[in-house]
A and B are shown apart, each in its own frame.
Chain A
C-alpha cells in the first residue's frame, strides 16, 4: 500500500542512529539501530542530498524536472516518493514537523547539487539495502577511541 506523500513535507535525519557518507555522488546510509545499510548513487544520491538538507518533497521533484529535461520526466515524482517512503520506513529519515528549533532553512537546491549538463534524460538509480551485517553493526560499537585510550576506567574511579 502506498502512502500519500504531502509535497510540502520536509524530512531530516534522526537526531542519532543514522550515519551517512557521500562520496563521488554515491551515498551510503547506515541505520545503526537496525543494523541495515543502504546505498544509492546518481540521481538517487541527489534526491537523498536534497531531502537531507530539508528541501520540501515537492521542491525535490520540481528541481529534478528542471534538471532532467531529456526524457523520462514522468518517472521523477514516483521515484522521489518511493525514496521518501523507503527513507521513512527504514528509519533513515523522519518528517520534520518544525519542533526542533535547531533546524535551519534548507539551502537552495543549486547550492546542494553540482550543476548538470543541459538536456540530460532522467535515469532512476537503484536504492540498495543490505541486512547481512546486522549482528556486527549492532555489536561493533565497542571501543571509544580518544586520547584516553581504549578502554579506560571512568573518571575518578
Chain B
C-alpha cells in the first residue's frame, strides 16, 4: 500500500455498542480489513442485554471488549478513550462501516505535506454515504435519492485525530443522549483547530428502523439544549475576544 509508515502511528479504534449484536460484527470486520492496521479495537459494551459482547469477543486478537453499565453513547466513547493506548483515535458506531482505506487516507492527510510548508491538519474527516440496512423493509421507509449521495462526514465515525488534540478539546458531553458530538465539534471550532474534510467517501452510515426514527425528526429538543451551550460559550468568547459568530441572514 502507499500509505503512511505502518510503525509510525498507533491508532486506537473505539466502537461504542449497546444491544447491537446484529451489526457490530460487520463494523469490527470493516476495521480489521483496513489497509492501515489499527493497534487495537475497543468495543465498549454499554450495558447490552443481548449478545453484543459475545459477538465482539469472538474476534479475539486486536479486538478487546470493555463492559460498563449503560451510560449512553458519549460515555461509552469516553470510556474507550480512557482505556485506549494509541496516540491516534478513531471511532466507529456499531452499526456503521468503514471503507477499507479509511485510516490510510486520513493518516496521510494528518501527517501533512512537508513540501508545501502548510501546517498539517489536526482533525481529518471524510465523506459519508448512507445505505439502507438490508433488513430494512423498503415499504417501511421512503429513502429519497439524495439520502444516498455523499455528504460531508462531520461525524465521529468519519474522524481521525491525534490523542493530544482530543485531550485539548475534551471529553464528549455525557449528559445528553443526542447531540454530544455537536457540542464536541463546536468546541473544536472554538479552539480554531485545523479541520479538513477529504472528498473521499470513507464511511457508510447504516439507515435502519431505529435511526430512521430520528430522521423523522421526532423529539429533537435535545439539539436545542446542546446548541444553547454552544451559543453561551460563543457569547462569552465574543465578550472576551470580540470575535464574531457565524451569522446567517
Contacts and interface: CB of A to CB of B under 8 A. Distances in A.
Interface of A: 16-17, 19-21, 23, 26, 28-30, 32-33, 36-37, 39, 90, 128-133, 135-146, 148-155, 157
Interface of B: 18-20, 22-23, 48-50, 72-73, 93-95, 128, 133, 135-137, 140, 151-155, 177-179, 181-182, 185-186, 189, 205-206, 208-211, 213-218, 220-221, 223-225, 227-228, 230-231, 245-249
Given A37-B224, A150-B211, A153-B209, 14 more contacts: A136-B185, A139-B155, A140-B181, A140-B223, A141-B215, A143-B211, A144-B214, A145-B72, A151-B20, A151-B94, A151-B208, A152-B20, A152-B208, A153-B133
In the A-B complex, the 3 residue pairs with the closest CB atoms: A149-B19, A21-B224, A141-B214
Contact of A142 (B23, B48, B205, B248): B205
Contacts, number: 159
A153 B207 CA distance: 10
B18 A133 contact: no
Contact of A133 (B49, B135, B186, B215): B186
A88 B189 CA distance: 29
A143 B155 CA distance: 12
B137 A154 contact: yes
A17 B111 CA distance: 40
